[in-house]
Amino acid sequence: MGILDTVKGPQDVRRMDAGDLPRLAAEIRELLVSSVAKTGGHLGPNLGVVELTIALHRVFESPRDPILFDTGHQSYVHKMLTGRAGDFGTLRQEGGLSGYPSQAESEHDVIENSHASTALSYADGLAKAFTLRGETGRTAVAVIGDGALTGGMAWEALNNIAARKDLPLIMVVNDNGRSYSPTIGGLASHLSSLRMTQKYEDALGFVKENLAKVPVVGAPFYDALHGMKKGIKDILAPQVMFEDLGLKYVGPIDGHDLEALEAALRKAKGFGGPVIVHVLTRKGQGYSPAENHDEDNFHGPGPFDPVTGEEPPKPHSWTNVFSEEIVRLGAERPDIVAITAAMLYPVGLAPFAEAYPDRIYDVGIAEQHALTSAAGLAMGGLRPVVALYATFLNRAFDQLLMDVALHRLPVVVTLDRSGVTGDDGASHNGMWDMSILQIVPGLSMAAPRDAVRLRELLREAVAIEGGPSVVRYPKGAVAAEIAAVGKIGTMDVLRSGEPDVLLVAVGSMAEVCLDAAALLDAQGISATVVDPRWVKPLDDALVPLAAEHKLVVVVEDNGRVGGVGDAVARMLRDADVDVPVRTYGIPQRFLDHAKRPKILAEIGLTGQDLAREITEAVARRSSVLEDDPAGQV
């Protein structure tokens, strides 16, 4: 029985002898590697926070002292120390542990966050609530790292936190040297210790209070002393940004030295106000394949060989197709520049960066800045392509609306991981984009069904003038090519049929719709299948085509509310076409994590499910028409 097996909650970690902690850390790393090797997940970040998380749970009393991880993928060790180590074989599996904090799993997971740069704001609110309610002895702890401090929201929070000197709030900056490198210089540990000592604060207050009582010279003398202190500090080390905000700072601390970590955290806790604790960690610590992985220190690998760290070959993905085509476009058009928000490798822009190093901008976790900076680039005569995960576009909606679309700028946004993504859970499903983008004036939006169409539509998007364009595509292996059998306007006809049912297949739903059409045919129901390619604006040719059919069915990998189905229905209403429209898509709820095919089956987005639903709808429609041939009912 290992020492980790004895940990049923944080109280067991607090009671543990300090001499046993290195063994505990080693067992945690062993379990991290063996579990993630089977399930995939965020390995490198968690290997780097093993000692830090142990120290946090020894100094603070979770959940009375809420520990908030930003981003949430750093919480694996926290899960182990709060009684979930025995379930790690189920990580990211259906019905198993989430790859992010989950309130459904434990009272120790206070927030469910995977969109970065939010924890400081949560902590600010919690600490203010503790103070207002008189809940003394409680401290809010925010662990921010893996690039999260590059997000503007984090600095908005810091600005507000600094204004309240009484907040019981500890901010741990997990600086792993990869995503975030704060410009704080090399402050000496003894200076940090001095500034954190309560006796020092008391002495300074005493001197200030009593010198002020000395006639004539008191106040000027204090100001001179304060100026001397600041000057000495500036000689020994640069004035740091956190102190310029008025925040107490301690560090840098070796994030793999348990004794130093505990000492620093206890000192910060004892201060009684907001404190920054700067911790230096190594991403991938303790597992050589991760430590030596140049790209991202095994930030988020799929399943791999735990001995060698080798991952099996991955199928050609939608991201790969985009990556190849943007490089080709870059060669043809020197005005194309690319922007990423701390996702150079995940969104496929690394080859573009290698080919055109002067035309790539990684802005950190700052999607808002990315879009408005793209607006400026477009104003300057360039053609920016902003590559994001679909789920993160939500954070930059205002900028896309008011800074890009309002100025009718030709900014291209590509949305990877659109629709159901699966393993990463509710926060990563890209199910909102086709709904929120419908309301943006002058915006064009495309949804390719296969690799050929992705290349084709990306090229068309880059050529659009006078407004922004969006190209969205799913996660995973790219779909096999689906050739068109005809053309109606700009729409591709994938299957021709008699005027029974018109299936409007949006992007990756093309294959599902063709499967449904084949099953419908076996039931004597003929279906036409079209791929609109551009789902905003819809081609006017859709109106007379719909009028030729008895039922229009729109299938989309997006939330049903406000998506393409609603746009089609509105288009037909405006044209006084009375053909009924049914929309099939993602239900408007937060989906549990599971594999994409499993989720699609659960929500009814399979050929068989669609065929059954459509057959029943046609039967109901036929029954109504038989009872009321004139269509008066």
Annotated binding site for Mg(2+): 146, 176
In 3D space, the residue among 279, 283, 225 whose CA is nearest the CA of residue 56 turns out to be 279
Residue 69 CB-density burial (10 A; 0-12 exposed, 13-18 middle, 19+ buried): buried
CA atoms within 13 A on the CB side of 183: 4
Q: How far apart are the first and last CA of the chain?
A: 72
- Known binding residues: 73, 114-116, 146-148, 176, 287, 367
DSSP state of 579: -
Catalytic residue check, 138: no
Residues 6+ apart with CB under 8 A from 78: 53, 56, 57, 67, 69, 101, 108
Burial 294-306 (b: 16+ CB within 10 A, else e): eebbbbbbeebeb
- DSSP H/E element including 245: none
Task: State the residue for tokens 């057959």.
Answer: 615
Neighbour order of strands in the sheet with 501-505? 486-488, 491-495, 527-531, 501-505, 551-559, 581-586
SS3 175: strand
How far apart (Å, rounded) are the C-alpha atoms in residues 154 and 347? Answer: 23
How far apart (Å, rounded) are the C-alpha atoms in residues 67 and 60? Answer: 8
Task: Count the neighbouring beta carbons within 10 Å of the beta carbon of residue 102.
Answer: 20
Are the C-beta atoms of residues 598 and 98 closer than 8 Å to each other?
A: no
Task: Count the neighbouring beta carbons within 10 Å of the beta carbon of residue 584.
Answer: 23
How far apart (Å, rounded) are the C-alpha atoms in residues 75 and 83? Answer: 13
Phi, psi of 40 (to 5 degrees): 75, 165
Alpha helices in 174-217 (DSSP H): 189-196, 198-211
Are the C-beta atoms of residues 427 and 391 closer than 8 Å to each other?
A: yes
- DSSP H/E element including 311: none
The residue from 92, 367, 453, 495 that is catalytic is 367
Are the C-beta atoms of residues 357 and 338 closer than 8 Å to each other?
A: no
The residue from 79, 128, 248, 283 that is catalytic is 283
Catalytic residue check, 105: no
Are the C-beta atoms of residues 25 and 54 closer than 8 Å to each other?
A: yes
Chain mean position to CA 447: 21
Q: Number of helices and strands (H, E) in the chain?
A: 25, 18
Task: Count the neighbouring beta carbons within 10 Å of the beta carbon of residue 34.
Answer: 12
Residue 227 CB-density burial (10 A; 0-12 exposed, 13-18 middle, 19+ buried): exposed
- Three-state SS string across 13-25, please? HHHCCHHHHHHHH
CA atoms within 13 A on the CB side of 384: 27
How far apart (Å, rounded) are the C-alpha atoms in residues 54 and 4? Answer: 12
Catalytic residue check, 395: yes
- Known binding residues for thiamine diphosphate: 73, 114-116, 147-148, 176, 287, 367
Are the C-beta atoms of residues 84 and 105 closer than 8 Å to each other?
A: yes
In 3D space, the residue among 71, 22, 184 whose CA is nearest the CA of residue 427 turns out to be 71
List residues with catalytic annotation. Answer: 283, 367, 395
